[in-house]
Amino acid sequence: MVGPCDFCNILLGSPFLEGRNYERKQEATAPVQNWVVMVGLDNAGKTTILYKLQIGKVVTTIPTVGFNVEKVEYKNVDFTVWDAGGQGLYKLRPLWKHYFNNNDCLIYVVDSMDRERIDQAKQEFQITINEPTMLNNIILVFANKQDLNGAMTPTEVCEGLGLFELRNRKWHIQGTCGLKGDGLFEGLDWLASTLKEKKAAEYSSV
């Protein structure tokens, strides 16, 4: 005769519960999927940064005329990064909004050596972050090419883009050198932790 305690032991050892426990472990350890769009003016270094993150080495690139898509897994966060082209910016502008749907954050790359076009970079940045589908997105700015003499500092890039004027937006600026990889993973550290906080807050409010 099987008693209540024996029944509990049988149930606890059943393949069904083992399967459920395995599923929970899988859910706990599976990377969190995030969609990221990366944009900026031509020659800012977007594609170099993307492939440096993805494979850890520099790839010689041609100016992006469409977009590149790569997945980067970092600290149990799975980033799918869309590198929308900066070359022929005004022709591609109508297409950019198609990349913005369902994205969790924006990475905006600035050529810190290009002082002459910082106003243009600001204009495109402000248009981008005010797209209806981008209003709740987290913003990470890479002030790229910091290894070169005469580069604008991250603070100068902040001022140039108008970051200090943003209200009710989560943003961070990171000085980077895309060729060497300097600063890239520090930026992803901030991005990963901020996205986790954002999603945790969304789940708790449901």
Residues annotated as catalytic are: 87
Does the annotation place 41 within a ligand binding site?
Answer: yes
CB-based contact 48:180 (threshold 8 Å) = no
Does the annotation place 150 within a ligand binding site?
Answer: no
Does the annotation place 182 within a ligand binding site?
Answer: no
Residue 45: closest CA among 137, 115, 143, 124: 143
Does the annotation place 44 within a ligand binding site?
Answer: yes
Q: How far is CA 197 from CA 104, 170, 202, in A?
A: 12, 11, 9
Does the annotation place 145 within a ligand binding site?
Answer: yes
Where helices occur in the chain by DSSP H, the ranges are: 4-12, 15-29, 46-55, 89-100, 118-129, 154-161, 184-204
Does the annotation place 68 within a ligand binding site?
Answer: no
Does the annotation place 43 within a ligand binding site?
Answer: yes
CB-based contact 52:178 (threshold 8 Å) = yes
Does the annotation place 13 within a ligand binding site?
Answer: no
Does the annotation place 45 within a ligand binding site?
Answer: yes
CB-based contact 157:110 (threshold 8 Å) = yes
Does the annotation place 30 within a ligand binding site?
Answer: no
Q: How far is CA 38 from CA 18, 98, 105, 130, 179, in A?
A: 42, 13, 9, 15, 17
- Tokens in use for 84? 């929308």
Task: Give the annotated binding-site residues for GTP.
Answer: 40-47, 86, 144-147
> What residue numbers does the annotated binding site cover?
40-47, 64, 86, 144-147
Q: Which residues are annotated as a binding site for Mg(2+)?
A: 47, 64
